[in-house]
Amino acid sequence: MRILFLLISFVSFYTGVYCQEKKQALYISHLTGDFYVYTTSKIYDGTLFPANGMYIVTTKGVILLDAPWDSTQFQPLVDSIQRKHHQKIIMCIATHFHEDRTGGLEFFKQAGARTYSSYKTDELSKQKGEKRAETIFYTDTVFNVGEHRFQTYYGGPGHSPDNIVVWFGKEKILYGGCLVKSVEANDLGNLSDANVKEWPLTIKKIQRKFGQPLFIIPGHQSWMSKDALQHTLQLLKQHKQ
């Protein structure tokens, strides 16, 4: 009986480790056209939790929005993009100062990408000891890279004081980062740097400015729904109550 118990325990442990390692892998999903969402996971509050980033393939190279949360996936992401698209990452934009967004800035700089963040993000990264971008933009900025045009937008504080979104007008894609909660989320998550009073106002500004996006990419969990902005407002309402 003792041997059987030990065998079952070993199998359970092995299976748990195997599944955990499998969940930590890099997942790349095609969104539309030249747009791809990539997901990695990291232990958060004792469980593996997924984080989303996005990349765009252009004739000039690949644009990366945020870095993988799992640092072991920095190089696999570079390799996967090179193998799949025969392109190099030429720029990386961090959407706020937390490690799951800025942690790869130095790596991607060394890999040949030009790294970007807002002034607010750079100031907070400097204060908190997080990785910093080499290029800083001080206001909402329009970028033209190859055949793609997009803009950064700061609507106000929310998940963090500096969280920005990125809008692709032609494709109606809103990359919301951690400011926007997935419809899969049951709560607001990490509130250590949040401003829950201003957060609803920020979301409503984004809704007014960008209308009805065809795709909304939140910072964590599922990105398959177009209702993520409204769901974020609902979670904020529940939190207030």
Q: Mind telling me the catalytic residues? A: 96, 98, 100, 159, 190
Contacts of 104 (CB under 8 A, 6+ apart): 67, 68, 71, 74, 92, 131
One-letter amino acid for residue 208 of the chain? R
Q: How far is CA 26 from the centre of its chain?
A: 13
Tokens of 18: 């195997």
**Could you tell me the two tokens for 165?**
């979104």
Report the b/e string of 29-58 with b at 16+ CB within 10 A: eebeebbbbbbbbbeeeeebbbbbbbbbbb
Q: State the DSSP H helix or E strand holding residue 110, giving kind and residue range, or none if neither.
A: helix 105-110
In whole angstroms, give the CA distance from residue 219 to residue 53: 7
Phi, psi of 104 (to 5 degrees): -100, 5
Question: What three-state secondary structure class fits 205?
Answer: helix
